[in-house]
Amino acid sequence: MKQQLKIVVNGEPYDLFVEPKTLLVQVIREMLGLKGTHQACDSSSCAACTVILDGMAVKSCSVLALQANGKEVLTIEGLADGTKLHPIQQAFIDNWAFQCGFCTSGQIMAAKALLDENPNPTREEIQEQMDGHICRCTGYNMINEAIRDAAKRLQSEKSAQSGKGAA
Amino acid sequence: MKEYSIIGKPTPNVDGPAKVTGEAAYTIDMTLPNMLYGKLLRSPYPHANILSIDTSKAEELPGVKAIITGKDTPGGKWGLWRRFRELSDQQALATDKVRFIGDPVAAVAATTEEIAEKALDLIEVEYEPLPAVFDPIEAIKDDAPMVHEDFPSNINATRHIEWGDVDKGFAEADYVREDRFVLEAAHPCAMEVHNSLASYDKGTGRLTVWTSTGSPYFVQQNLAEALKLREGDIRVIKPHVGGHYGGKNSTMPDAVNAAILSMKTGRPVKIVYNRDEEFTTTEHRTAQNMALKIGLKKDGTIVAFEVKTMTNGGAYTGLGATTLYLTGTFITMPYKIPNYRYDGVRTYTNIVWGTSIRGFGAVPAKYCSETQLDRAAKDLGIDPLEIRRKNAVIPGYEAPGQYKFESCGIQPCIEKMAVRVKEKWPKLEKDEGIGYCAFAYMSGGIFNWIDTPYAYSSAHVKVNWDGTVDLYSQAADVGQGHNTVAAMICAEELGIGIEDIRLHMGDTAHAYTDLGAWGSRETLMNGNAIKDAAAQVKQKLIDIARLKLGENIAYDLVAKNKRIFLELRPERGLSYYDLVKDAIRANDGVPLTGTGHYTPHNKGMISPAYGMGIMAMKAKVDRETGHVTVQDVLVVHDSGQIINPLGARGQVEGSIHMGLGYGLCEEMPMDQGMLLNPEFVDYKILRTRDMPEIEILDVPTYEPNGPFGAKEAAEATIAPAAPCVANAVYQATGAEFYSNVLKPEKVLKAIREAEKKQKASKATGK
């Protein structure tokens, strides 16, 4: 029996009907056509499908769609500000923090949740937080550097904004 | 070194904006209107005759649109060793018998994936199980079950390499040692599983296939054979690919069955493997047994080397036969070995088959040879770095009849390593050790098992009226960053910017042939083709510029910074954009074009050029738990003129990650042909917390065979990682390893044996 799912994805409200067993990742990829969120395993162990659910990074393959009822989801498609990339996205490009790019959306969303919580993480803190993510291409160090670079960019953006505010 | 405008400058990935916004479309993200979902029914037996298949119940399931078994397929066999027809041993669906757990026997197309899966459960297959063989040594015995009827003793391929006089060499040696190794299999684990979308046009009889591959050309060839169609009636498109690492060279049953189902139903059909299928039915790094014998002089000079290997090939060939050859080649590099003999045997067995995974034979080979070299050095009382320096090749070195090093920076790499190690790790703590491994790897293979009648690589450049450039090639970016390298090479040659280049890559209908991404070939081979194509266009612009400038014909003109000007008088020149307009006007309105190609000639058996270097790792061993921590990694490498330092670093770091996995945790245990860990919970891949920091130092050389002096910068650094770890543990504890995967229990056991050995030698006073 399908049930009603009211969900906000990337700021857009949706009113859907889903089976109780439908996963959040299925809603995102198949019903909404947001293919930037990738799924790379069937055992909830690679974190490629990470999205932000009410501010928290979650594996969208491990959340039932109905558990997200009434909540807000942010996917990779909702991160940029129009045509301007988010500083984390730009830092990933500038630091060559992806190769094949398949796990990248999940890495970036997890980095966003991490930096929202801890704006100035160390290499070790990033390793701790991002340990669930499998990347088969990069060896992780360049991702770690991109996240630290993004932290700096976000901080200087913030101080520029507060500077403006003071003036 | 020459100063370039673009080459050698850190350049962000041209696919970056698409990949960080989720807009990059992989095959798995694609759908077509009216599309059906395909699924494969797979054998639960490692070896069995198929007695009957009853699909009637499944056909009655609403939503099922087609079910096929072996008899419904066009029946063409395929493989990458097309030059040797008997090794074209893959087929869409098993007809008479199945050869491994996972061999497909039927395929379903349905309106949803769920219905297709349900239909699989309703298909009834009657099997007659046959005795099976899982081990290469068992496989060659007289009474072993035969995996393929035409291959006695299950011998799929043999390779013999020899130069010098090996027996004489051993007779002259002061020290000879023999070691035997057992190497584990490992899976490439691309994050995007194998998947294909096929669309057959009933009206024209033409087929289009989108697939996650490293070589659209190989898929086109193989589909033509499997489906008995003309190559030209098949178009293969490679969208973004979510990882390759050698596991996506072969055409797999997903592409072929999607195509057959599309031809049957007249609708597009997509087949996506699940992670279990990816682990249990797609290609992996081959397990093998190796025996090595080395002879040295007292001073550490290698005088003779003999290697024998027997690989657990599995049910089909893939690129396993090439891997077998390259195992015997890379194991000699980068050392001067005057007398060498290699015998390799690849056996058919009833497991999923092994192939050319990243490092292409070098990974198991170097694990054995470089751990053996450390033990020989210790016995002879020679420093491990010194024994490598003493035997390392010099520019111009030739292994008779096999390969020749033209650019060759290994000696300066080792010298630089010696200096940097002392600065970086001046003092070791207790139970810490430093392990070394020298390495060399090809920049694309010369061999033509695919039997292509075309150039190995080609590229087509079209310059439009406004100066923008369309670059066409079948070359494959699979994440390694080739699209960026391709744009950089094209832009440098034409003296314009990367933003002026638009890429059209990886589509068999829109570009001339390139053999794809394997053997670290794209930078050198496709780079040469692109440079050739761009140079032809540049010459046309130079001719027009010469005409307009009216200068002395002896003056040289160059293209740089969007101008064409006199090399020695840069102020005298013309705008690239103006010249393009003039040139097209002078060409009766036809855009400027150039078609470049590259096929190596007279460059030996292996490759036109070799990347090389030396790696060192510092590791600490916990003597109580057996846990090994890799603390720090240092690489000094010669990749010629590096095209894009950002991409090159990415390749080196990624290779080390996968190589460390081979050394520390990745394994594929099987029981009667059944893989026991087919998912990421049990198949251990190193995570970010496991990765040490990596310092990379370059020793640039100029490679005469490469574009702008470039050569391989991709796969070379995978092979040295695991032997570096084993050697570091050996230096720290004396523990000797005769297989990869240093799990704590194995390390503890080896340490205990080393301690026993040390006690015994003290007792005897030796």
pLDDT tens-place string over residues B212-258: 999 999 999 999 999 999 999 999 999 999 999 999 999 999 999 99
User: Using the beta-carbon criterion (under 8 Å), do A100 and B240 form an inter-chain contact?
Assistant: yes
Nearest-Cα residue of chain B relative to residue A108: B20
Q: Which one-letter amino acid corresponds to residue B399?
A: A
pLDDT tens sequence across B30-64: 999 999 999 999 999 999 999 999 999 999 999 99
Res. B261: pLDDT tops 90: yes
In B311-324, which positions are buried (b, 16+ CB within 10 angstroms) versus exposed (e)? bbbbbbbbbbbbbb
What b/e readout covers B234-268, taking b as 16+ CB neighbours within 10 angstroms? bbbbbbbbbbbbbbbbbbbbbbbbbbbbbbbbebb
Domain end among B574, B598, B622: B598
Contact B480 A139 (CB under 8 A): no
Whether residue B466 sits in one domain with residue B391? no
Q: Answer whether residue B115 is part of any domain.
A: yes
State the burial class of residue B554 (Cβ atoms within 10 Å of its Cβ: 0-12, 13-18, 19+): exposed
Give CA–CA dist B115/B131, Å, rounded: 34
Residue B540 lies in a domain: yes
* Strand residues in B212-319 grouped as ranges (E): 234-237, 269-272, 284-285, 288-296, 302-314
Cβ contact B650–A85 (<8 Å): no
CB pairs under 8 A between A and B: 163
Cβ separation of B17 and A93 shorter than 8 Å? Answer: yes
Q: Is residue B429 part of a domain?
A: yes
CB B618 within 8 A of CB B434: yes
Q: For residue B559, what are the domain limits?
A: 16-23+456-598
pLDDT at B544 over 50: yes
DSSP assignment letter at B307 = E
What tokens does B52 get? 């009957």
Select from B598, B623, B640 the last residue of a domain: B598
Are B575 and B640 members of one domain?
no
- Nearest beta carbon to residue B478 from set A34, A93, A100: A100
Does any domain span residue B175? no
- Look at residue A162 and tell me whether its pLDDT is greater than 90: no
Q: Do B433 and B501 belong to one domain? A: no
B310 touches B377 (CB < 8 A): no
CATH of the domain at B53: 3.90.1170.50
Is B89 a member of any domain? yes
Q: Which of B21, B479, B680 sits opposite A100 (nearest CB)?
A: B479
Beta-carbon count within 10 A of B85 CB: 12
B272: closest chain A residue by CA: A40
Does B634 share its domain with B661?
A: yes
Give chain A positions within 8 Å (CB) of B656.
139
B493 shares its domain with B430: no
Residue B764 has pLDDT above 90, yes or no: no
Answer yes or no: do A92 and B20 touch at CB < 8 A. Answer: yes
Residues in chain B closer than 8 A to A132 (CB atoms): 687
Partner residue opposite A96 with nearest CB, options B275, B647, B658: B647
Each residue of B102-141: pLDDT tens digit? 999 999 999 999 999 999 999 999 999 999 999 999 999 9
Statement to judge: residues B356 and B441 lie in one domain: yes
Q: Do A85 and B20 touch (CB under 8 A)?
A: yes
Cβ contacts of B239 on chain A, cutoff 8 Å:
none
* Mean pLDDT of the B497-510 span: 97
Chain A partners within 8 Å of B687 (Cβ): 131-134, 140
Residue B375 domain flag? yes
Which residues contact residue B26 at a Cβ distance below 8 angstroms, ignoring those fewer than 6 apart?
Answer: A38, A102, B192, B212, B239, B240, B241, B242
What is the distance between the alpha carbons of residues B262 and A28, in angstroms, rounded to a whole number?
Answer: 27
Distance CA B762, CA B479 (A): 54
Cis peptide bond prior to B104, omega within 30° of 0: no
Shortest distance between the Cα of B422 and any Cα of chain A, in A, equals 24
Write down the H helix ranges in B283-409: 320-330, 362-380, 384-391
Output the domain CATH number for residue B720: 3.30.365.10
- The dihedral sign for the CA sequence B380, B384, B389, B393: positive
* Residues of B in Cβ contact (< 8 Å) with A46: 191, 680
CB contact at 8 A, B82 and B515: no
Band of residue A163 on the pLDDT scale cut at 50, 70, 90: confident
Q: Considering B598, B622, B650, which residue would you say is the last residue of a domain?
A: B598
Rounded to a whole number, what is the distance in angstroms from the first to the last CA of chain A? 58
- Write the ipTM: 0.97
Average pLDDT over residues B263-268: 98
C-beta of residue B438 within 8 angstroms of C-beta of residue B720: yes
Position B390, amino acid: K
- Does the pLDDT of residue B1 top 80, yes or no? no
Do B658 and B708 sit in the same domain of this protein? yes
Q: Per residue in A104-148, pLDDT tens?
A: 999 999 999 999 999 999 999 999 999 999 999 999 999 999 999
Question: Which of A48, A126, A138 has its CB closest to that of B654?
Answer: A138
Is the same domain home to B614 and B593? no
- pLDDT tens for B714-743 read 999 999 999 999 999 999 999 999 999 999
User: Taking 70 as the threshold, does the pLDDT of residue B765 lie above it?
Assistant: no
Q: Which domains does chain A have, with CATH numbers?
A: 3-78 (3.10.20.30), 87-158 (1.10.150.120)
* CA-based end-to-end distance of chain B: 53
Is the domain of B366 the same as that of B487?
no
Chain A residue closest in CA terms to B192:
A40
Q: Tell me: do B383 and B531 sit in the same domain.
A: no
Using 50, 70 and 90 to split pLDDT, how confident is the model at B699?
very high
Locate the DSSP E strands across B584-627.
592-598, 610-621
**B1 or A141, greater pLDDT:** A141
Same domain, yes or no, for B124 and B100? Answer: yes
pLDDT at A167: 46
- Portion 393-452 of B in contact with A at CB < 8 A: none
Q: Is the dihedral of CA B682, B687, B689, B691 positive or negative?
A: positive
CB contact under 8 Å between A98 and B188, yes or no, is no
Residue of B662, B688, B691 for testing the chain A interface, max A β-carbons within 10 Å:
B688
What are the E-state strand segments in B508-661? 557-560, 563-566, 569-575, 592-598, 610-621, 628-638
What's the whole-number mean pLDDT along residues A95-112?
A: 98
CA quadruple B439, B440, B445, B447: dihedral positive or negative?
negative
Q: How close B432 gets to chain A, by Cα (Å)?
A: 22
- The residue among B268, B254, B198 whose CA lies nearest residue B229 is B198
Q: How many CB atoms lie within 10 A of CB B625?
A: 11
pLDDT band at B762 (very low <50, low <70, confident <90, very high): confident
The answer to whether residues B472 and B511 touch, using CB atoms and an 8 Å cutoff, is yes
pLDDT at B487 over 60: yes
List CB contacts (< 8 A) between B657 and chain A: 136, 138-140
Instruction: Give the mean pLDDT of B431-450.
Output: 97
Q: Between A161 and B697, where is the model more confident?
A: B697
Q: Is B574 found in the same domain as B656?
A: no
B174 assigned to some structural domain = no
Q: Which of A39, A96, A124, A153 to mutate to test the interface with B (most CBs of B within 10 A)?
A: A96
Q: Which of residues 669-728 of B touch A (CB under 8 A)?
A: 679-681, 685, 687-689, 691, 693-694
Task: Evaluate whether residue B398 is within a structural domain.
Answer: yes
Nearest to A133 among B12, B275, B688 (CB): B688
Q: What is the total count of domains within chain B?
A: 3
